[in-house]
Structure 1
Amino acid sequence: MPTVLIPLLIVADQISKLWALRSLDPIPDPFLPGLYLTLVRNTGVAFGLLKGNPLWLGLFSVAVGLALLVYLARARTDWLTSLAFSLITAGALGNAIDRLGRGWVVDFLDIGPGLWPVFNLADSFVVVGVILLLPVWLRSR
């Protein structure tokens, strides 16, 4: 069952953020073609929205993560849906740990300075989870 991935994904996210804090700085550093490593302390959510509300954002992220855990424990879903919600859960909880523990989220993956906001593994988990839900949602319509 994909839900067993949740703690592993959270650990991977947190390890990557600790590495970024110890190894990176705010100056973009080329890593791979089209990918830079840039340390950003994000006090808001995507695209810099809602800056300066780490407690509320952290509590909201925990609430979303816990609600999804309850849903995953009770619902009988197909493997793809379970995987998608597991990714979203891990992403929400990974960023909640940052918001509640640091007061900001560690972002460091950068697809090009100025092209897109800098993000982290937890953000990627949420985006991939939502993308995986699209065919499920389209089938249900």
Structure 2
Amino acid sequence: MTGAGAGGSARARRSRRLFVAVSVALAAVALIVEPIARQALSAGRTIDLGPLQLKLAYNTGVAFSLGNQLPTWVVLSITAGITAGIGAYAWRSAPINSLAAVVGLAAIFAGAAANVIDRAVDGKVTDYFHTGWWPTFNLADTYLTCGVVLLIAALLLESTRESEKESSS
């Protein structure tokens, strides 16, 4: 781990550049796919891909449609605030995090930011992946989930390595 004064080090700059690059790339892909899905799945069209279908749905709430009765400005304000907090934390912690943790945080931030941007445009998030047994979701939601899994795995691996170092000392 790097000390508190690492904000200007080459490693800190590389980690932060990686965070920004991955965040921007992932969010851009999600935001490009969303209008394509809207157009391809309009008029109730469903595309069957086996265990997954492409089916258009809209979510005015947050995860699992929680808060869908709240005014759009409330949901947008809360989700934008949480997203900004995630971004600030990821930026500040990037210099001391592993590569996997930085990428995980970037995926979380990108997914959250893409959903905030989608909601800001028309007051709802466009979802298009449908399983039949799970609520319909989108690419940004997939980034969030994969980012959380990657971040947890990175933190567990780091914790295991630190425990091994301490026990061998």
TM-score (norm 1): 0.87
Tell whether 2:99 aligns with 1:79. yes
Contact 1:110–1:118 (Cα < 8 Å) also in 2: yes
- Superposed CA RMSD in Å reads 1.9
Contact 1:65–1:89 (Cα < 8 Å) also in 2: yes
Change (3 A) 1:123 1:21: same
SS at match of 2:135: coil
Which residue of 2 is the match for residue 9 of structure 1? 26
CA distance in 1, matches of 2:151, 2:125: 25
Displacement of 1:118: 0.4
Which residue of 1 is the match for residue 12 of structure 2? none
**Residue segments in structure 2 that go unaligned for 5+ positions in a row:** 1-17, 161-169
Question: How many residues of Structure 1 are paired with residues of Structure 2 in the alignment?
Answer: 139
What is the 5 A alignment of 1:15-94?
15-25=32-42, 27=44, 29-53=46-70, 54-75=72-93, 76=95, 77-94=97-114
CA distance in 1, matches of 2:75, 2:144: 15
Contact 1:95–1:105 (Cα < 8 Å) also in 2: yes
Change (3 A) 1:22 1:82: same
Q: Deviations over 1:80-132 (max 9, x none)?
A: 11011100100111110122211110000112x2x110000110000001111
**Residue segments in structure 1 that go unaligned for 5+ positions in a row:** none
TM-score (norm 2): 0.74
Q: Which consecutive aligned stretches of 4+ in structure 1 deviate over 4 angstroms post-superposition?
A: none
Higher Rg: 2
Change (3 A) 1:8 1:42: same
Q: Determine what percentage of the aligned residue pairs are the same residue.
A: 29
**Structure that is richer in helix per residue:** 2
